[in-house]
Amino acid sequence: MTAGTVAGLLLMITALLVWYLRRRACIRRVGSVHSRLRIAHSLREAGHFQQAEDAYRAMLGEHRRTTRDQGFALDAATGLYLTLLDRGDWPGAETLLREIVATYDPMSPPFRMGLLHARRELAHIRLHRGEYSDAVDELRAIERESVTNVGETRAGTPFALVSSWPKH
């Protein structure tokens, strides 16, 4: 092996290493939010509710300080809501849903189905309490907003369709 070949190999290895480190840093920067969310979801699904709750709360606290786009916050809050439900903390889950809806910034780009999902879950809680009139009114409002924002044929819309429900 000649000195030129060794130098060429070292240059190629260095270039690959730099490429790898840059890619890894980019993945860490961009993918870490989604990776952390997936880890929290996995903890919840495995029954590690306290660890999942801690992870979701940490992500929510961090996210509220760093960005105005609330899509990730809605995902983390939904995971936290499901964790609270899995633990049997219905009052805590309802309080969280009310907080999500109350603090959501409607100017957060883009339109988020997550907000409608939170409102739908609150309507379901009302149904379970026997507050049928309020629940159906809210579900109809969600249906209108869903159709307006994403159309009738989008996959996220049917969850809200209550137009066939009887009037009260």
Max Cα-Cα span within the chain: 88
At 50 the pLDDT is: 92
Helices (H), the chain: 3-45, 49-66, 71-87, 90-103, 113-129, 132-150
- Fold of the domain spanning 33-160: 1.25.40
At 30 the pLDDT is: 43
At 84 the pLDDT is: 92
pLDDT at residue 17 above 50?
yes
Please report, for the chain, the start and end positions of each structural domain, with discontinuous segments joined by +.
33-160
Higher per-residue pLDDT: 145 or 67: 145
At 18 the pLDDT is: 64
Question: How many CA within 13 A on the CB side of residue 94?
Answer: 12
At 109 the pLDDT is: 56
Q: What is the Cα–Cα distance from 124 to 136, expressed in whole angstroms?
A: 9
pLDDT at residue 140 above 80?
yes
Distance of CA 158 to the CA centre of its chain: 19
For 82-121, write each residue's pLDDT tens digit.
899 888 898 898 899 898 888 877 666 555 677 788 888 8
**pLDDT-derived band of residue 168, with 50, 70 and 90 as boundaries?**
very low
**pLDDT-derived band of residue 34, with 50, 70 and 90 as boundaries?**
confident
The answer to whether 56 touches 83, Cβ cutoff 8 Å, is: yes
Ramachandran assignment for 47, one of left (phi > 0), alpha (psi -120 to 50 degrees), beta (any other) = left
Q: What is the Cα–Cα distance from 118 to 116, expressed in whole angstroms?
A: 5
Nearest Cα to Cα of residue 44 among 73, 72, 74, 85: 85
Calculate the average pLDDT of the chain. 75
What is the distance in angstroms between the CA of the first residue and the CA of the last residue of the chain? 87
Q: Which of 24-33, 44-53, 65-74 is predicted least confidently?
A: 24-33
Give the global pTM. Answer: 0.64
